[in-house]
Amino acid sequence: MEGLYNIKCTVSYDGGNYGGYQLQDNAETIQQRLENALEKIVKKHTRTYASGRTDAGVHARGQVFHFLTETPIPEDKWAFAFNALLPDDIVVLTAQYVPHSFHSRFSAVEKVYRYCLWNRRVDDVFSRHYSWHIPYALDLDAMREAASYLIGEHDFTSFCSIRSAAGSKIRNIYEITIDEEEPGKIWLTFRGNGFLYNMVRIIVGTLVNVGAKKRIPRSIRDILAEKNRDLAGKTAPAKGLFLWEVKY
């Protein structure tokens, strides 16, 4: 693989105008925009590989992708080259040369997702594309107790879209924190070794039920044990979710 370089990039995007990260025939996607830009830079169609897909409407602060190329642009110029060709809702933040053993998806050891709730009677015009508006009171301590039952290695079938094609539904959640950044602006932060299709959004939908006293915190244990998606809450809206960081 002499003369072939492996480039790792972090990219931030506002998912609001896209049909998700991954290439598809009938919608604009982040990957398509990245590969269009890359083709112009290296004068050759080049496949990119991300840490994982994000759904339609989901945002990223630190998605990671990599690609192999023969074009040796100076490391600090890659981001400029991409950003000059990308729309303003996709921004490449960093780029670096990495060993060929690095793979955005298979080398990842931890992912961090964050979900934002706007919990006041009226919605906030400046957060409306980046949070889920919950106009009723939430008991954050009840939500924290409920979240505690999800920590550790579990079969998350109950918190996974039935459309998931994943083989094993076992994942390990290291930590869930729930913090009020300013009055009414609540961040749920999830750290784990990986997350299934819609898993964070279904967990958020269920925790919000707990916060609203429609479920008791302990019910989360039973939902997990039953391995039945129908028992969990509804999938929270995509617009409040951010792929925050991928760790290697």
Binding site for its own copies (CB under 8 A): 12-14, 59, 61, 79, 83, 88-93, 122-126, 128, 130
Tell the smallest beta-carbon distance from residue 60 to its own copies (Å).
9
Question: 36: how many CB neighbours lie within 10 A of its CB?
Answer: 12
* φ, ψ for residue 63, nearest 5 deg: -65, 150
Distance CA 195, CA 143 (A): 20
Smallest distance from its own copies to CB 175, Å? 22
Min separation Cβ 106 and its own copies, Å: 27
Judged by CB, which is closer to its own copies: 90, or 138? 90
Q: Smaller CB distance to its own copies: residue 120 or 214? A: 120
**Closer to its own copies at the Cβ: 5 or 130?**
130
Q: Are 93 and 61 in contact (CB under 8 A)?
A: no
Active site residue 55: yes
Which is nearer to its own copies, 104 or 131 (by Cβ)?
Answer: 131
Work out how close the CB of 86 gets to its own copies at its nearest, in angstroms, rounded to a whole number. Answer: 10
Cβ pair 228, 157 in contact under 8 A? yes
Q: Of 25, 55, 76, 155, which residue is the catalytic one?
A: 55
User: Helices (DSSP H) in the chain: which residue ranges?
Assistant: 30-42, 78-85, 140-148, 199-211, 219-226
186 by DSSP, 3-state: which?
A: strand
Residue 235's identity, in one-letter code, is T
List, by residue number, the catalytic residues.
55
